[in-house]
Structure 1
């Protein structure tokens, strides 16, 4: 039997105008951890998509997997052959339990209709124990810290009899201890004969965990090497085609100049407390701290994206109130967020559209000047070396590093006076990282004042002039000059402070039908309308479908995250058809009950009740974006709206004002829903902090 579980050769992939892969090859031994590395845009993601069956290679490709020769794979074939991918975003469903996240795809594969919760949780506990993860399988994924979510994703992959486990940037959002826990699981899987393809830009982790390395550069194969054959310098040279020195820029003292930004006593309960600092012209001020220290929340508050409980801001000596990002932009303050995919980009729009979104022609509702827009886009693409240089390409098609460059480019277009950049090089290769560092340094020399939030200690030491250390929501120390070294940073980060007919009425129903509508059960209990029985049946039907069937749980999954649901193997079109079918049954039942009561029917009877329906389900706790809600809570919301409408009618409140009050109720409910989401996120951050401690 061959020592190689996977051998690929002649792998090429061509997109319109782009050669993503050009005759690359790759081999993977049984029971090894193999690093696949290269700059952003080198072709790693395209290669992984080919291995997982998401993309088909050009003609001529040869893939030997588990002794079988293939030209290409489909997603189903890849899973059948034991290829599993854990994407950087994990593709987990936060509104479902850990057990469901592990077994939902398995149940769909077996075409199971009913969910046996007791068996599911028992089997999930066993799977979690195999990777030494001691958690309750009934806990919601969103309540777990990122490190444990990563292990749940691994447990789900192992359920598929995985032989090849592909991990895409698995440590990008993990703390030191979580990385250590992940490595222990990886080594255990390796000893069990499972082969792992490990993709990361963190060279120290690669040298610690991996046995062999394969390097791609500009879509080409640069070689495969054992760990002993490489040094970090040689690896970088193979990746980028040039030597890159990790240059520590000299520290500059700007304290004698007038500050461009002064923050005093900034406080937001449960996030940060009594934060004060100055930012000087042309200075790079760093913020460092452990996960949950409050750095990101602080920067969002300075940018006006989050409200504070107290504190003040001065810009160029004048007191200002930054109540929104729009106000911040008017003051020439820009912010590159940490979560660039969800907060920094319009993924389905083109690179061109993303880069011009902050231009005056868009933000100030002026007539657009297409010539100037194209000029602006061309300048940003060239300045930031964004590849491929195809402005009409959707941003979702770009590599991680080039996505980050687009986020930075759209804010550079406004010529900011102050830039806030949260994790500027997270998930970016060493070459792109150096380019961004040089760009930031050049901007500072041109007078732009920059705040950098980073978890990369080498990055912080290399580029900042001063460094604020945060712990438990407070600044424990501001380091300057020679004080900015690893020992001092760790000391203060860890131990410092912290719509039947033509719209006409339908009448003439049989007398028996009308009598049915007037029938009452249990007359000894003052009579219960028979329609109540139908309501109870409808509620039990809805509850059973949503709670105890795989299509019902799939509805929750699609509402939470459509892309992740697809990766679970959910046939979205079929599930939506099932949902509409059930909805049609319930609407038919409602029409039957209503007609039996009034003895006539109007096809337009409930037009205009859309607001009431929305209000009822949102008040009942259903997420405005989908994915959440319970039948019993929706019943409560429906009763609340019915009582409110009856009360307003009996009080002779005009219909106009009834609609106004209903709209206010919806806005209030949506606000509560969003606050609940924020609280869930805060709880997750708190868990991360406790995990770190």
Structure 2
């Protein structure tokens, strides 16, 4: 590391009714990987938008490479200076090739003004090769995995001669091996003198890849420390102002009443959607008051089964029973009518109506119950519902009329949970409930799930974080390649055993000389007594 490439001081930002930033500061050195940490609503996203030129600040100063940044700069102007942001939601055009995405708006031209395709593909290949990636720049982006799209975003940043790359939750949708590959690339970028601001809620990654970290809390600067000599618990304490530790739940609320039963759900591949996961004879039972965790690698069938249960996707065969009654579910509205609620994996694309108000997002599915004379909304009842769940979940907002898109990811997730809770469901499915949420908010979301289970709701939790699955569940069901490979009590589960079931199809101790479980899924799924 060498000279200071970014120096931000006394940055302020005020929105109507909310002080988002109150004098925060950040220093980044050349060739440094610097983690920016804080709970949802701490001000990280607002600060990064100001740095990227997406929003003006209301005070303070920023120096980049020794020169002051103009508050009136656009994102394009900041990119030309070498400040490039890779957002959690990728900005790629799926119908275009990798190279076209990398050079979009900056295509190399011939003397006659036409695009020099040969040069563009050659230059793109060189950047890809420098990163050690096995990608063809002529491939359309739509066929790439999430991890490969992440690599394309990094490649795109390098074509802009980036000197400072902002990575916002870069590993949120990546598997373990993909995370390792990303970290390997980050080390290579650092060796070239490129600085990186690394935003993540997975604090173990900070210790693996970052040099220093800075913490914001409630829009204020807290501290900057070297990663060496700091523990994850130190980071947590600075972020939330208290010690937070996830421990396996002790209280159990499951009874004998089977609230959700899925029998023999199967689905063949689709010619129109080659990425659709094949599901093979999946059978699951969840009792009232029970929390069942779904664990598996990306594409193993966890989310796909949840979407079938909720009516978002179809299946070729299978039966769903809710509270002992066969449910005909052809759409999400059928599922809601049957007593099933879903918090989807991608809250921005599948859950939130981003331009609309918090009030509309929270109360929309409950309007039938809140209506008067069938045609009018009981506004007093709607306000009471919103106030109740805002208090219960600790949702931070100026008021319920602001757009949900202005909230932090954690608060958006809480609004979606409130929407589902307001339906008083018999079955609640939450897919990646704490993805992109800080550690303090995770504890709050977990507590909401415990309260739902205590009230007799059957809860399914889908998570890629094995410690989370083990912490919140009564039972854990593992998936691999569209099949169920095991079911075991959470209190007896270990990460090693779960990973063996997820990646290999069976416990490591029993794989040698035995057939892999999963061919008869129903035999591996049983309700805990």
TM exceeding 0.5: yes
The answer to which of 398-407 and 72-81 deviates more is 72-81
TM-score normalised to the size of structure 1? 0.69
CA shift, 1:486, in A, is 1.1
Tell me how far apart the structure 2 counterparts of residues 143 and 445 of structure 1 sit (CA, whole Å). Answer: 43
Indicate if the aligned counterparts of 1:362 and 1:368 stay in contact, CA closer than 8 A: no
Aligned to 2:376: 367
Aligned to 2:394: 385
CA shift, 1:421, in A, is 0.7
Tell me how far apart the structure 2 counterparts of residues 108 and 394 of structure 1 sit (CA, whole Å). Answer: 40
Tell me how far apart the structure 2 counterparts of residues 266 and 15 of structure 1 sit (CA, whole Å). Answer: 49
* 2:517 paired with 1:475: no
User: What pairs with 1:391-430 in structure 2 (closer than 5 Å)?
Assistant: 391-430=400-439
Aligned to 1:484: 493
Tell me how far apart the structure 1 counterparts of residues 356 and 113 of structure 2 sit (CA, whole Å). Answer: 38
Indicate if the aligned counterparts of 1:361 and 1:367 stay in contact, CA closer than 8 A: no
* 2:238 paired with 1:238: yes
CA shift, 1:258, in A, is 2.3
The CA deviation string for residues 334-375 of structure 1, in whole angstroms up to 9 with x for no partner, is 011101111111110000110110114389854211111111
More strand by share: 2
CA shift, 1:475, in A, is 0.5
Indicate if the aligned counterparts of 2:297 and 2:480 stay in contact, CA closer than 8 A: yes
CA shift, 1:204, in A, is 0.7
CA shift, 1:105, in A, is 2.9
More helix by share: 1
* 2:449 paired with 1:440: yes
TM-score normalised to the size of structure 2? 0.90
Indicate if the aligned counterparts of 2:108 and 2:120 stay in contact, CA closer than 8 A: no
Aligned to 1:63: 62
CA shift, 1:251, in A, is 6.9
Tell me how far apart the structure 2 counterparts of residues 485 and 68 of structure 1 sit (CA, whole Å). Answer: 52
Whichever of the two has the greater Rg, that structure is 1
Tell me how far apart the structure 2 counterparts of residues 234 and 298 of structure 1 sit (CA, whole Å). Answer: 39
Indicate if the aligned counterparts of 1:475 and 1:497 stay in contact, CA closer than 8 A: no
Tell me how far apart the structure 1 counterparts of residues 449 and 235 of structure 2 sit (CA, whole Å). Answer: 25
The CA deviation string for residues 261-320 of structure 1, in whole angstroms up to 9 with x for no partner, is 111111111321101111101000110001110111100111111111111122222222
User: What pairs with 1:36-185 in structure 2 (closer than 5 Å)?
Assistant: 36-59=36-59, 61-70=60-69, 72=71, 73-107=73-107, 114-185=114-185
Aligned to 2:518: none
Indicate if the aligned counterparts of 1:87 and 1:168 stay in contact, CA closer than 8 A: yes
Tell me how far apart the structure 2 counterparts of residues 463 and 309 of structure 1 sit (CA, whole Å). Answer: 32
Indicate if the aligned counterparts of 1:474 and 1:497 stay in contact, CA closer than 8 A: no
Aligned to 1:205: 205
Tell me how far apart the structure 2 counterparts of residues 423 and 17 of structure 1 sit (CA, whole Å). Answer: 31
Tell me how far apart the structure 1 counterparts of residues 112 and 40 of structure 2 sit (CA, whole Å). Answer: 41
Tell me how far apart the structure 2 counterparts of residues 80 and 195 of structure 1 sit (CA, whole Å). Answer: 16
Tell me how far apart the structure 2 counterparts of residues 195 and 18 of structure 1 sit (CA, whole Å). Answer: 31
The answer to which of 90-99 and 70-79 deviates more is 70-79
CA shift, 1:114, in A, is 2.2
Q: Given the alignment, which residue of 298, 309, 325 partners 1:302?
A: 309
Indicate if the aligned counterparts of 2:370 and 2:381 stay in contact, CA closer than 8 A: no
Aligned to 1:320: 327
CA shift, 1:328, in A, is 1.2
Tell me how far apart the structure 1 counterparts of residues 111 and 346 of structure 2 sit (CA, whole Å). Answer: 36
Q: 1:362 to 1:488 in 2, by over 3 A?
A: same
Indicate if the aligned counterparts of 2:475 and 2:489 stay in contact, CA closer than 8 A: yes
**Structure 2 unaligned runs (5+)?**
270-277, 508-529
Indicate if the aligned counterparts of 1:251 and 1:464 stay in contact, CA closer than 8 A: no
CA shift, 1:253, in A, is 8.0
Q: 1:147 to 1:301 in 2, by over 3 A?
A: same
Tell me how far apart the structure 2 counterparts of residues 406 and 442 of structure 1 sit (CA, whole Å). Answer: 16
The CA deviation string for residues 212-250 of structure 1, in whole angstroms up to 9 with x for no partner, is 000000100001000124211121111011111212113
> Does the residue aligned with 1:343 lie in a helix, a strand or coil?
helix
Tell me how far apart the structure 2 counterparts of residues 376 and 44 of structure 1 sit (CA, whole Å). Answer: 30
Indicate if the aligned counterparts of 1:312 and 1:319 stay in contact, CA closer than 8 A: yes
Aligned to 2:259: 260
Aligned to 1:9: 9
* 2:350 paired with 1:351: no
Aligned to 2:293: 286
Tell me how far apart the structure 1 counterparts of residues 49 and 490 of structure 2 sit (CA, whole Å). Answer: 46
Q: 1:110 to 1:212 in 2, by over 3 A?
A: farther
Aligned to 1:668: none
* 2:332 paired with 1:333: no
Tell me how far apart the structure 1 counterparts of residues 122 and 3 of structure 2 sit (CA, whole Å). Answer: 36
> Does the residue aligned with 1:205 lie in a helix, a strand or coil?
helix
The CA deviation string for residues 522-573 of structure 1, in whole angstroms up to 9 with x for no partner, is xxxxxxxxxxxxxxxxxxxxxxxxxxxxxxxxxxxxxxxxxxxxxxxxxxxx
Tell me how far apart the structure 2 counterparts of residues 174 and 57 of structure 1 sit (CA, whole Å). Answer: 33
CA shift, 1:113, in A, is 5.0
Tell me how far apart the structure 2 counterparts of residues 405 and 56 of structure 1 sit (CA, whole Å). Answer: 28
CA shift, 1:175, in A, is 1.1
Indicate if the aligned counterparts of 1:62 and 1:71 stay in contact, CA closer than 8 A: no
Q: 1:109 to 1:67 in 2, by over 3 A?
A: farther
CA shift, 1:112, in A, is 9.3
The answer to which of 402-411 and 102-111 deviates more is 102-111
RMSD across aligned C-alpha pairs, in angstroms?
Answer: 2.0
Tell me how far apart the structure 2 counterparts of residues 210 and 488 of structure 1 sit (CA, whole Å). Answer: 30
Indicate if the aligned counterparts of 2:215 and 2:238 stay in contact, CA closer than 8 A: yes
Q: 1:124 to 1:363 in 2, by over 3 A?
A: farther
Indicate if the aligned counterparts of 2:107 and 2:120 stay in contact, CA closer than 8 A: no
Tell me how far apart the structure 1 counterparts of residues 119 and 170 of structure 2 sit (CA, whole Å). Answer: 30
Tell me how far apart the structure 2 counterparts of residues 90 and 258 of structure 1 sit (CA, whole Å). Answer: 43
